[in-house]
A and B are shown apart, each in its own frame.
Chain A
């Protein structure tokens, strides 16, 4: 994959003529639609009334997404999960959260929080400096990647504690 896939997807929410719709189908015109940036149509449905609008012709750039910046950041992380360009997505990352909110200074911001296996961070009850340094280097690289996409929000990339393999096994057994 060359870069993140920002294509419309089923369940994405978009505004069309001031109404909010959910995409229920995406139909590309041609095989290499990603290089042309043009879609033939999408089918939409009003999530409240169920009203359907089908075969809406759409160019890639013209869809106005709900939470577009969060959607973009999620797609960028999905892309990073494929370990593109030789960049390894760490296996100690259990999950991630993406949320939009103002930072402490009131700047519209997006927070990405990677949940890390605590067994990776703590070895024999002590934090492993080497592993935490690797974790922080990964967070920094993600931050730099996000900055490269000229998002309209400030971005914060953080680490949080995941469940850990041992705890997962216990949970599964109980």
Chain B
């Protein structure tokens, strides 16, 4: 997988494999101390799980909004994404069955109600980002193995759900919101 990622990066392709690599890394870290509680391993597992989801979605955004030629253009576009913007969009898309979402262009209604998959992706992204902050910076908080395993599997589900959701009518709107959301109603 690492070799594939390097090869694709050389060819100027999107960094989707990086997301998968991070997920595998998170799985590995979470499985190191299943019955003990190495804070470093659990915290790094949670952090890697978040970044796996972040890179999965940001690569999908870049793929939607930018061509991959000239080389590096798409990757540079991916760099534009902001964690806080993505966090707010994830919150907005986190309730299944909704048609109207805050932050979309005025009067714009989603083509279809938010699916269980999209709500799950959004919820997980929001949860993972908040957990990532706690894991990286909150030294008062004690994480246990269940935390690590649960968050890593939440990230895995983001990947699984995205495989279904990326073909939906809402997917292009969701991806566009992740990058443009804050500027749509300026």
State the A residues within 8 Å of B (CB): 103-105, 116, 118, 121-122, 125-127, 129, 132-133, 135-136, 139-140, 143-144, 147-148, 154, 156-161
* Distance, CA A154 to CA B84, complexed state (A): 15
B147 A159 Cβ-Cβ under 8 A: yes
B146 A116 Cβ-Cβ under 8 A: yes
Closest to B83 in A: A105
- A selection of 6 A-B contacts at a CB cut-off of 8 Å is A105-B84, A140-B123, A148-B95, A159-B146, A159-B150, A160-B146
Cβ of B163 under 8 Å from chain A: no
Q: Kindly list chain B residues whose C-beta atoms are within 8 Å of the C-beta of A133.
A: 153, 157
Q: Kindly list chain B residues whose C-beta atoms are within 8 Å of the C-beta of A103.
A: 130
Most B-side CB within 10 Å, residue of A125, A126, A140: A140
B119 A158 Cβ-Cβ under 8 A: no
B35 A125 Cβ-Cβ under 8 A: yes
Interface on chain A toward B: helix, strand, loop, or mixed SS?
mixed
- 6 shortest interchain CB distances as A-B pairs: A104-B133, A161-B144, A161-B146, A159-B150, A147-B95, A127-B149
Closest to B27 in A: A127
Q: Kindly list chain A residues whose C-beta atoms are within 8 Å of the C-beta of B154.
A: 136
Cβ of B169 under 8 Å from chain A: no
Residues 104-157 of B contacting A (Cβ, < 8 Å): 119-120, 123, 126-127, 129-131, 133-134, 144-147, 149-150, 153-154, 157
A41 to chain B, nearest CB (A): 38
* Distance, CA A122 to CA B144, complexed state (A): 13
* Distance, CA A144 to CA B84, complexed state (A): 22
Which residue of B34, B126, B133 is within 8 Å of A126 (Cβ)?
A: B34
Interface range on chain B: under 10, 10 to 19, 20 to 34, or 35 or more? 20 to 34
Q: Kindly list chain B residues whose C-beta atoms are within 8 Å of the C-beta of A143.
A: 94, 123
B78 to chain A, nearest CB (A): 22
B87 to chain A, nearest CB (A): 6
* Distance, CA A124 to CA B148, complexed state (A): 18
Which residue of A122, A127, A144, A154 is within 8 Å of B95 (Cβ)?
A: A144
Residues 1-58 of B contacting A (Cβ, < 8 Å): 30-31, 34-35
* Distance, CA A161 to CA B35, complexed state (A): 11
B131 A158 Cβ-Cβ under 8 A: yes
Cβ of B96 under 8 Å from chain A: yes
A161 B123 Cβ-Cβ under 8 A: no
Closest to A116 in B: B146
Please judge, given known A-B contacts A125-B34, A144-B95, A161-B145, whether A135 and B134 are in contact too, CB under 8 Å: no
A122 B150 Cβ-Cβ under 8 A: no
* Distance, CA A67 to CA B185, complexed state (A): 34
Q: Kindly list chain B residues whose C-beta atoms are within 8 Å of the C-beta of A105.
A: 84, 87, 130
Q: Kindly list chain A residues whose C-beta atoms are within 8 Å of the C-beta of B157.
A: 133, 136
